[in-house]
Structure 1
């Protein structure tokens, strides 16, 4: 900049007036509305685990469109589209025109401006990506033959693919998927399965769930694939119980101690092996029942992206965030992870016990968690109240101190015998004294 050039007040005012008229591009002013649901990951979360949010083999939607390292699957999208067009007989133009007519609604679904895509470019992307997903679901659901499809034959592809499809930045609106699915049904092969059912069957190869759950969510809708799959773990009939206490004055409404400390004060852990959802946690009579979960790369990626979505999207429940905070409370150290592993609550395929504890601690550190308003509020109160009151706390502490190991038990028993002998000796001494006195 020329030091001799002086910007006048009028020039500054003109610049400021121009800036005020420019709409935000990195975060739309409408990003807080219900219809805006596809976001960029906040930087604070992105720094924790970059790979968890970045697609590894496939791009869905505009945010990662055209990335060089995603070209392999991008080429197969065209093959899938050709198969569908040949099978249904509808032209590409038929679907393109439908998407163009929906472009305003599609653009409003993204928190970041995608105006650099023309109407036709946006429609081409939605058709290509949308039908790629739908054909994947149909192939797994046996509605379409897979033959020797390399995407299914190469076993390394599937794990990456399933994780990529549930990443917050890698989404297209669910209403686009639903429209493309409805308009591309094969009338010669009638099938009563919904798009939702096919999606759940697809992911059931990674997350094995009861068939009743699939039926229960056959008409569930989401804002996009990630939101739909997140919702499938939440009981549609669930109503958060109204607390029977004054939340603002309840001293027990705080985070709970880690698993090892809970065990010391008498809490028993029990694994639920056939729950409807990993969210179904209960506490009764000192027993904390937690559904068994296989912690692996899929679940860690899914949790991170759900938390990012729940942080960004105001109009949804915070069930996954609450669950991760709860598990983070229990697993403060590797010792705590060991406690849950011994009780078959955690099957650790993520890494070492120390790495798993670090994962939950780092994830829960920067999340916005409202302890007064979540589906486990009552449980936090009940656990803390149990830990601080009652005879069982003292009994459990005594058992932990004196009977935690065989040597401690032997020492305690020896001390007890010595105490008994000392008591007997005192008794006989006093007895002999009074007996002699009477004589």
Structure 2
């Protein structure tokens, strides 16, 4: 027995040797240090509700690289300090000065802005998906400068666009006119580029920072009658302005729940297209075989805006997917340049973007590599009902063809004979080719 026991013990010892992993102890300090350091590119808080500002995923940015990068102004930390934005960075101080002149009526000075934002530093850092390398002082300074720039810029744009309206917001904005020495005020090309850059996902600061700075510099009641939505940042605020008064819903599986066909194919199946007069371009209706869609103007402003909307909906965990759903619908309808032209003829697409080919390419790209659940959308019913009409139409056409060709015994026999002759011809061709090309028998 002892001999048997020793043998068993030797087996265990031998087996254990095969599972030993030798670790170089000099490597341990680096491992421990890496485990203790906070992740930089994607923090552990990136999946929380507070995290709402992200770099665009590579799978999306590679498809439409230009749509996500700012051109002339950096907002927030992701592009901070880059030389290409230096011109506008210097001009931000002009806008800050204009805002401070207005804030004097409330006896608010620059230090009040810094102190208010400093109290929010922890929440500001939680808003970004990456660990911010800026120290507290630099971060607060950046938030105040960028936030005041955005607020004053919008006030100046509003005073230009709505100059003839009797509006309390404009009355507040005009109390201190824009500095005539500010060169940006005289350059017509600047404002459109600024507005585009302010609506890039990577180019955001938290909305609660903007709200605090606005409240400090202007009467609290100024915007009350204008807006009842509060986004996570400026891009999200604009996104919410497109959302219609209909809820996303979860529907039961159905054989009609799949992506719809292109506009030209649906037209062949009897689906009609009409422009719809409604507040939101996302408000799509399908009733009695008619698909009603509000006219959509495609231009150099809307196209990158939609791409950044979709990127935000893909990254932020608590976001609804309204823009993603609408973009998927339009991508289905506009599969080819002919589809784009067809919807243009029906006053649903207004093309200031380029050729029909470019419009088709845009809608094909906007829905690439995005997560989309057709059973959980605000347009689930539209997808289902359009597919039902389309499939029933082609089933009816097939049934009609069958009846036309096989409604008598003679027509059935004629078709059967034709199919038999075709099969015989194919068989004969095969054997002819085989005899000519078959390998020779090996020598015996």
> How does the TM-score come out when normalised to structure 2?
0.77
SS at match of 2:377: coil
User: For residues 47-88 of structure 1, what are the alpha-carbon distances to aligned partners after superposition, in whole Å with 9 as ceiling and x for unaligned?
Assistant: 112221111111111111112111222122101111222332
- Give the distance between the partners of 1:54 and 1:277, measured in 2 at CA: 27
Instruction: Say if 2:207 is the partner of 1:177.
Output: no
- Give the distance between the partners of 2:33 and 2:307, measured in 1 at CA: 39
Q: CA RMSD in A?
A: 2.2
What pairs up with 1:90-239 in 2 under 5 angstroms?
90-114=108-132, 116-139=133-156, 140-141=158-159, 142=170, 143-144=173-174, 145-146=177-178, 148=180, 150-185=183-218, 192-194=221-223, 215=226, 218-235=227-244, 237-239=245-247
Change (3 A) 1:147 1:24: closer
Tell me the equivalent position of 2:313.
310
**What is the deviation of 1:353?**
0.7
- Give the distance between the partners of 1:266 and 1:14, measured in 2 at CA: 71
Tell me the equivalent position of 2:268.
264
- Give the distance between the partners of 1:391 and 1:176, measured in 2 at CA: 56
The count of aligned residue pairs is 360
- Give the distance between the partners of 1:51 and 1:370, measured in 2 at CA: 27
**What is the deviation of 1:154?**
2.0
What pairs up with 1:315-334 in 2 under 5 angstroms?
315-334=318-337
Instruction: Say if 2:53 is the partner of 1:52.
Output: no
SS at match of 2:66: helix
Change (3 A) 1:18 1:44: same
Tell me the equivalent position of 2:388.
385
Q: Is the 8 A contact 2:41 2:129 kept in 1?
A: yes
**What is the deviation of 1:238?**
2.7
Q: Is the 8 A contact 1:256 1:383 kept in 2?
A: yes
**What is the deviation of 1:34?**
0.2
Q: Is the 8 A contact 1:106 1:173 kept in 2?
A: yes
Q: Is the 8 A contact 2:45 2:51 kept in 1?
A: yes
**What is the deviation of 1:96?**
0.8
Q: Is the 8 A contact 2:250 2:375 kept in 1?
A: no
Q: Is the 8 A contact 2:98 2:179 kept in 1?
A: no
Change (3 A) 1:75 1:300: same
Q: Is the 8 A contact 1:26 1:111 kept in 2?
A: yes
Q: Larger radius of gyration, structure 1 or 2?
A: 2
- Give the distance between the partners of 2:248 and 2:312, measured in 1 at CA: 21
SS at match of 1:278: coil
Instruction: Say if 2:87 is the partner of 1:79.
Output: no
SS at match of 2:41: coil
- Give the distance between the partners of 1:389 and 1:150, measured in 2 at CA: 63
Tell me the equivalent position of 1:420.
none
Q: Is the 8 A contact 1:266 1:392 kept in 2?
A: no
- Give the distance between the partners of 1:311 and 1:120, measured in 2 at CA: 32
Bigger drift between 84-93 and 323-332 goes to 84-93
- Give the distance between the partners of 2:248 and 2:40, measured in 1 at CA: 37
**What is the deviation of 1:394?**
4.2
Instruction: Say if 2:47 is the partner of 1:41.
Output: no
> Which residue of 347, 352, 356 corresponds with 2:355?
352
Q: Give the unaligned 5+ runs of structure 2.
A: 1-21, 160-169, 402-444
Tell me the equivalent position of 2:163.
none
**What is the deviation of 1:101?**
1.4
**What is the deviation of 1:8?**
5.4
Q: Is the 8 A contact 2:248 2:376 kept in 1?
A: no
Q: Is the 8 A contact 2:275 2:294 kept in 1?
A: yes
Change (3 A) 1:147 1:106: closer
**What is the deviation of 1:228?**
0.8
> Which residue of 357, 378, 400 corresponds with 1:375?
378
**What is the deviation of 1:14?**
3.4
Instruction: Say if 2:349 is the partner of 1:343.
Output: no
Tell me the equivalent position of 2:34.
19
